[in-house]
Structure 1
């Protein structure tokens, strides 16, 4: 039997104007990792985020996190607190530097960094003679973390926050855009994100000085000289003018893409009203506005989660378990973890459902039919 076309978890969704910006780059022969589209995309994002931030466009969200840690002064041997319920890319840059991750559990409201556990961990690390150098807090699946509580702890202990907003462009907390709360912030434009540049990311900085330093590092730390001279270790982290052109076309429809993702989430909320035992991931209060990059549900058990995932897979519909917590990943098993296994429970029973902004009504109907057959 021939399968119907694949319904992806989160696929790229073009506006139609991307080709114009890309063609402009070809016409002007601006193919290198600099040019009008790079400058233009930085301005587009700065305008969107507001708050007077400065944006450096980079090759990935991981690169943004790496440079963000460097801007915060993290060095080899330092400790960095990191949310455990996240993609491993949030924590990997800590190891790039030779620093040590201290992994923290989630809370049940937003699935993000638990403020209570965070403070307990800070107190314990200080008692052990190790004051953490930075805090990586993530807006999981576009859901803002508990900004007021986390930033209050950051201020109390004078530990800066690196805000991982890779999944949260277009999300807000009390009307302020995610990515603008921490001392530095990171965005991602990977192919599955709410907007894409094929691959790419951005660093959000409070000061122009930080932006300029990030760009210096991202372009191999080349000194201002007529020859190639390097006084610091640098990285090849700048985005190409071609990819930035895709991003410019995407930024034209960012608000539409957010509304489309939120409409998909509403579809799941409405569907599961008749299945009270299933929890749909939603904002805990009106202070939170999620872009619902991915819509997720919590089922009754691991077995039920896997049964649904495999049922969808059989019908050529992609779904995915929640992120496996970083402290459960073999490569991070040796590092300290603080928590009450909230993230482990979420991983065990949680499933991300198709959430793309380009899901059609027939796509949603197909999903509904599979859900009906599974639950009924």
Structure 2
């Protein structure tokens, strides 16, 4: 047996490149280790240039970016925010941070993202009640662009701002335009499992100069202009460090290589599983879109197998292969048991039938074949 067969295959491990250490060493040599410095400024410029927004504020996490984004959009106690149910909890938790309440929306089957039809139902019902939702959060799940044309048209029709959660979607595009540039504010994540990483980190993107100014101010404890520390507004310690931003700068040099490899991995899984009727390799790209294929996902067909995703996950573990269920819908989480929900059958079905496969950009073709061989042995 080849030695690779014993190696642990992780779902989406960090993949460092050639130049991260150069930026980190420079920060240490120059004593720029605080949440300020040339790497931080440079990383923000790199992201603006790549995504195509005018402003970027690098922060300690994508969750922090969502929190600040909601504050910038004026969301507060007693407000409602429309949120896809089929996403990670960090999309919705900041809604509670600001005292508002999430209203969950089902997925559609094409991209697995926010369903425009269900979104219209929620917007129309709130319009009839005379208290419209304060914001819409749209997520690009697993890097797949949501149906942005329909969603943005609805947002404009009802006059509701959009927070674009592109945490999983750096490198994805919709009609040639980078995700992260469509919302009134948008967020990215650079957590260790994302397509590029700063170990921990995130960013807030916007074309609104005042939003960017407010985000910088709020993320550095909202200090008033005074010769001493004076504070009139509640602030936060959310800025990214100059050292971590250096890792981000090195990673940004390789973003297109990372996207290319993730897409190749997805395509290879698709090819190797094409003749396995029990498995559908996860959603096809709509026309004029590019998914970064952050994670390759599969759905099991109950007509062709009695196996469950959990059966497969446990079997893959015996081969030292990490996999993960699709996101458990938030309306099924105890934390949000009392929250309103529009629809639910689509995302519940996806959760019941889906599994994420190892997709890291450092994987070889042989690694992908090893995963597929292990899957086929159990199906």
Quickly name the TM-score band, shorter chain normalised: over 0.9
For the Cα contact (< 8 Å) 1:113–1:137, is it kept in 2?
Answer: yes
Q: Distance in 2 between matches of 1:126 and 1:328?
A: 26
1: CA distance, partners of 2:38 / 2:64: 21
Q: 1:252 to 1:188 in 2, by over 3 A?
A: same
Measured after TM superposition, the shift of residue 341 of structure 1 is 1.1
Separation in 1 of the partners of 2:309 and 2:33?
A: 46
Say if 2:144 is the partner of 1:143.
Answer: yes
Residue by residue, what CA displacement relative to the aligned partner does 1:184-241 show, whole Å, maximum 9, x if unpaired?
A: 1000000000000000000001122211110100000012222111121000000000
Native 8 Å contact 1:283 1:290 kept in 2: no
Which one of 8, 19, 22 corresponds to residue 20 of structure 1?
22
Contact 1:103 1:337 (C-alpha < 8 Å) held by counterparts: yes
Residues matched between the structures, number: 374
Cα deviation, 1:324-354, whole Å, max 9, x if unaligned, reads 0110000001010001410000000000000
Aligned to 1:244: 245
Cα deviations across residues 18-58 of structure 1 (Å, max 9, x unaligned)? Answer: 010000000000111111000000000011012x4211000
For residue 339 of structure 1, what is the aligned residue in structure 2? 343
Determine helix, strand or coil for the equivalent of 1:187. Answer: strand
Query: Which runs of structure 2 are paired with 1:309-324 in the superposition (5 Å)?
Result: 309-324=313-328
> Is the 1:80–1:134 Cα contact (8 Å) retained in structure 2?
yes
Q: Which residue of 1 is the match for residue 45 of structure 2?
A: 43
**SS of 2:187's equivalent?**
strand
RMSD: 1.5
C-alpha deviations, 1:269-310, integer Å up to 9, x for none? 101211134211133422221000001010024842221111
Task: Please state how far the C-alpha of 1:132 moved relative to its aligned partner.
Answer: 0.1
C-alpha change, 1:20 and 1:284, in structure 2 (3 Å) is closer
Aligned to 1:327: 331
2:117 counterpart SS class:
helix
Question: Is the Cα contact below 8 Å between 1:300 and 1:349 reproduced in 2?
Answer: yes
Structure 2 runs not aligned, ≥5 long: none
String of CA shifts for 1:101-154, please: whole Å, max 9, x gaps.
Answer: 100000000000000000101111232343100000100000000000000000
- Structure 2 contact 138–163 (Cα < 8 Å) conserved: yes
- TM-score in terms of structure 1 length: 0.97
Per-residue deviation, residues 166-187 of structure 1 (Å, max 9, x unmatched): 0000000111000111111000
Equivalences for residues 51-66 of structure 1 within 5 A: 52-66=53-67
**Any conservation in 2 of the 1:140–1:168 contact (CA below 8 Å)?**
yes
Secondary structure of the 2:368 match is helix
**Separation in 2, partners of 1:250, 1:28:** 21
Report whether the alignment pairs 1:171 with 2:175.
no
TM, length-normalised to structure 2:
0.96
Q: Given the alignment, which residue of 10, 13, 20 partners 2:12?
A: 10
Alpha-carbon separation, structure 2, partners of 1:147 and 1:40: 30
Q: Which moved more, 1:216-225 or 1:88-97?
A: 216-225
CA gap of 1:36–1:275, structure 2 versus 1, over 3 A, is same
Counterpart Cα distance in 1 of 2:261 and 2:61: 24
Runs of 4+ in structure 1 over 6 Å off: none
Query: Which deviates further from its counterpart, 57-66 or 334-343?
Result: 334-343
Does the aligned pair in 2 maintain the 1:53–1:180 contact within 8 Å? no
Give the aligned partner of residue 202 of structure 2. 201
Which ranges in structure 1 are unaligned for 5 or more consecutive residues?
none
Which residue of structure 2 lines up, in the alignment, with residue 359 of structure 1?
A: 363
